[in-house]
Structures are given as structure tokens and as C-alpha cells.
A = this chain, B = another copy of it.
Amino acid sequence: MSNQSAISPRRTEDFPEWYQQVVRAAELAEPSDVRGCMVIRPWGFGIWENMQHQLDAMFRATGHRNAYFPLFIPLSYFAKEAEHVEGFAKECAIVTHTRLEVDADGKMKPASPLNEPLVVRPTSETIIGATYAKWVQSYRDLPILLNQWCNVVRWEMRPRLFLRTTEFLWQEGHTVHETEAEAREETQRMLGVYETFARDHCALPVFSGEKSESEKFPGAVQTTTIEAMVQDRKAIQAGTSHFLGQNFAKASGIQFQSREGKQEFGWTTSWGMTTRMVGTVVMTHGDDDGVILPPRIAPTHIVINPITTKEETRARVLEACERLALQLREKRYVDLAIEVEIDKRDLGGGVKNWEWIKKGVPIRVELGPRDLEKNSVAVGRRDQPVKEKQFMPVQEFVANAPEMLMSIQQNLYDRALKFRDENTRKIDNKEDFYEFFTPKNRERPEIHGGFALAHWNGSREIEERIKNDLKVTIRVVPFGDAEPGRCIFTGEPSRRRVVWAKAY
């Protein structure tokens, strides 16, 4: 058994294929018949709903409210900010017609061309900006602090479930401020929210900082980001917060009368986190048996598997399971109710057990006739080897369940941090850098690279060359104290090390 696993291939054999398989096996999502669009299944959507609720509470606590803006953006609005439209032009889906009509061949065809094509929002700065321009007259109308949860569309040539899909779900915050300082502060505050959410809710250690010029959001003055490392040592951008300066305010005409009575342009920010986060969690924590969910975002924390093979004890076993579920549901874990499911399906206990392992439910409990006698349960933690079970008295398990969930959450974080730290290296010359990012072992090509902390002269030219040579980019220029040095490619002075990696 030791060389078998529930997911084939294993991570070390073919990480990208392992990811596709694990997402399917856990019933998180699947491709739809619409190119690049996915179907998010209940288990995957339940994870996203938890992320939503928890992030949403953090947005409210920082003074934001939700609103909703149109799906469509008139082309002329979209084109108002030059860098913006250029950045998104290749990814736009465009509504050009309304109405369907049967043509001469008896086929349905689009019938009425629109005067102005509508872009399906890839992001909403321009359409929201047009509305804000109407709302803002005076400094008294500021700040505006809104967020929306919605779908967006960016045409994707190489889709990958959750990580890159043509349609995805996200939240986008859009704020307007009186001063540059306030807008910069907001940008940082929301990056902080993302960092906290990634760490404390998704068990993801991240590097935070800003993007280089070439990786910035189109139209932004500054893009800040959190970057996670997944198990093939690549980086995933897990959330971004943009300081937009006055670029979009000028494009949309967001002007106000200042305290001094002058007409001034507002200072805006935007920030977003997407369903990609679900994929990041899977790629970070999963193992060869399936998904492993951080308890805080798991749709079900504890699944109870009744062993009802003997007809004569069946009713009593089920009753004991119901009792256990009730007791557990009265407990709270952090600020959450404990979600418990009893899997009463008429399938073999082993089949059901493996399904829940693959889905990554944090705690699995088995309760059968013998447990009934001893008033005990068999408990499996998803952060421990799947064959390991702890037998314990029911009451002890009930009392300890919240703590056990917290311990799983912490373990996942600690493991991910350890993995990231082991694969993050300060590199001080070009040869080591190229060596670091070159696969060495033909059998296990995934074992190379990671995060390289290296000095850089700040030029876009170097970034391009490294990208061409190694497919490696600067993921983030960390905040914090600078450590001056010399660019490892040119020998020129460098203010600080930056984080280089291959990325999704």
C-alpha cells in the first residue's frame, strides 16, 4: 500500500497533471463546454463562499460597503485610459449584437448590431469611475470606499481551472480619496488585509511588496502584491492592491472642490482577490491523496462516517452519530460554527472515507458498533498520514475538536512556510541564478528553482532578458529596510534584493 496514492499522477511525477486530477477528484470544479470557462461545483464553491464571507467581514471592518456596477463597459469608456485599454485589449470579450433571428438557411444568427460595442468587464475602473465622477463634487463627498463581488472576463488562451479562466469570480474594491497620502495608505491597508487573510485564513505564507514597472496593473502608478509559493516552487500572485494616482480620475473626470476651493482630481485605488485563491490553496497544501483544506475555509470541518454494516446495530450507530454531530455543532472554532456532516450514503465505509480524504475535509470520524460499546470514536486528521487513526472517548473528542482544528490550521501554515523558506535563496551571482532556475534531474524536473532573492539594477531590459532566458520574472520588490548591493547581472548599484521566480 505504501506506494499507492489516491491521485495519479503524484505531485513529483507531473505536478500540472496532478493539479488537474486533484481538482477533479475533489469535485471542486471542471471545465465547461465554453472555452476557458469553468463549472465550480458545490465543494469548490463552498470554499469560495467561505473566503467571501471572511474577506467581506474584513472589508466592512475597514469601512467599506458593497455595491454593484454594470457587467458591460461601453468601448469608448474603456478606451479612456490609454495604458489600461492597451493592457487589456487582447483579453476582451465584446458584445456587438443584440437579438437572435433565424436567417435564410434556418440558422439562428445575431440580428441587431449595437451602435457602440460593449466590453464584458475584465475589471471595472472605467465604468465605476464614470459613476464616481457624478457622485463627487466636494471634498465632503470623500472618501468613497466601495467593493463589489462579481464575475469578470479575460479571454484566456491557456486556461487552467481556478488559476487562469476566461471567466472568474472576484471582488474588486474601488476607492476615491482627497489626498495622495490617503490613497497610498488605503492601498497599503488593503494589501495588509489580503496578507492577513492569506496567512490566517488560507494558511498561506506570502511575500508582500510592490511590482516592478513591467508587471504593474495597466494604468496604475503602483501595484502592490502578495505572492505565494506552491509545491512546484512557482509563484502565484494571490492578491493585488493598486495605487492609481490620478490616472483614472483624470480619464473619468472625478473632480472635486477642495478645502481651499480649488477643482482637483481625486486619488483612486483598486484592489482584488479572485477564485484563483482556491487553486492556490490546493497547490500549496494538497498531497498525493488529494486536497487538504485549511479548516477555516473548509465547507465542512468534520465528517462523520457511520459504520452500519451490521443491520442490528444500524439504528443505534446512526443515533450516536446524530448525537455527536449535535454536540460538535454547539462548539465554535475561532469565530465560526463547526460544520459537521454525517455521510449516511449507502456505500462502503472505505469508499466514503477516500472520497472525504480526496476532498480534504480536516477531520474524519468513524463510529461503528464497537465504538458504540466503548463510547469512543476513531479520528483521522487530514494533516496526518491517511492511515493513522486516533481512538478516543467521544467526550474527549468533542471537547478537543476546536483545538484540533486550530492545530491543523497551524500545521498547514507551518509546513507551507517551511517549504517556502527551504526553497527561497539569496543568490549573489548570475551563474548561481541561472543554475538555480535550470532543471537538473531529468526524472524529477520540478525540483529546481523557487524564490531567488537577488540584486537588480532596476532596468526593464534585464527583466526582459531573464524572462526570455529562463521564464523567470520579478514577482515582488519587498517593502521594508533596504539592503544595498550590486545587480548580479550588471554589477550596477541596487537598493535592495527583489524576489525572482517562475510564476503561474
Contact = CB atoms under 8 A, between A and B. Distances in A.
Identical subunits present = 2
A333 interface: no
A97 B94 contact: yes
A151 B74 contact: no
Interface string A97-133: 1111100000011100000011110000001001100
A110 B98 CA distance: 15
A25 interface: no
A250 to B, nearest CB: 18
A449 to B, nearest CB: 32
Given A72-B167, A108-B79, A89 B99 contact: yes
A422 interface: no
Interface stretch (A40-48, A263-271, A313-321): A40-48
Interface stretch (A60-68, A391-399, A490-498): A60-68
Contact of A169 (B68, B85, B169): B68
Given A39-B131, A70-B34, A94 B96 contact: yes
Given A41-B67, A67-B39, A97-B94, A33 B89 contact: no
A329 to B, nearest CB: 14
B167 A70 contact: yes
A150 interface: yes
Contacts of A30: 131
A71 B131 contact: no
A75 interface: yes
A37 interface: yes
A132 to B, nearest CB: 10
A197 interface: no
A153 interface: yes
A451 interface: no
Nearest to A70: B37
A373 to B, nearest CB: 32
A46 B66 contact: yes
A37 B97 contact: no
A489 interface: no
A138 to B, nearest CB: 13
Interface string A11-32: 0000000000000000000101
A97 B96 contact: yes
B98 A95 contact: no
A262 to B, nearest CB: 22
Contacts of A40: 67-69
A441 to B, nearest CB: 39
A138 B409 CA distance: 38
Given A33-B74, A34-B73, A150-B151, A66 B93 contact: no
A447 to B, nearest CB: 36
A167 B97 CA distance: 15
A74 B34 contact: yes
Given A79-B108, A94-B110, A85 B100 contact: yes
A435 B101 CA distance: 40
A49 to B, nearest CB: 7
A90 interface: yes
Contacts of A85: 100, 108
Given A110-B94, A151-B150, A32 B70 contact: yes
A139 interface: no
A96 B93 CA distance: 8
Interface in A117-162: 117-120, 127, 130-131, 146, 150-151, 153, 155
Interface string A414-436: 00000000000000000000000
A118 B150 CA distance: 19
Interface in A424-471: none
A32 B69 contact: yes
Contacts of A169: 68
A251 interface: no
Interface in A145-199: 146, 150-151, 153, 155, 167, 169
27 contacts: A30-B131, A32-B69, A33-B74, A34-B70, A39-B131, A40-B68, A40-B69, A41-B67, A42-B66, A42-B146, A71-B120, A71-B151, A71-B167, A75-B100, A85-B100, A89-B99, A89-B101, A89-B108, A90-B99, A90-B100, A93-B95, A94-B96, A95-B96, A97-B117, A99-B155, A100-B119, A120-B120
Given A32-B70, A68-B169, A91-B99, 19 more contacts: A32-B69, A34-B70, A34-B74, A34-B118, A37-B71, A38-B70, A39-B68, A40-B67, A42-B67, A70-B167, A71-B151, A71-B153, A75-B100, A85-B100, A88-B100, A89-B101, A93-B98, A94-B110, A100-B119
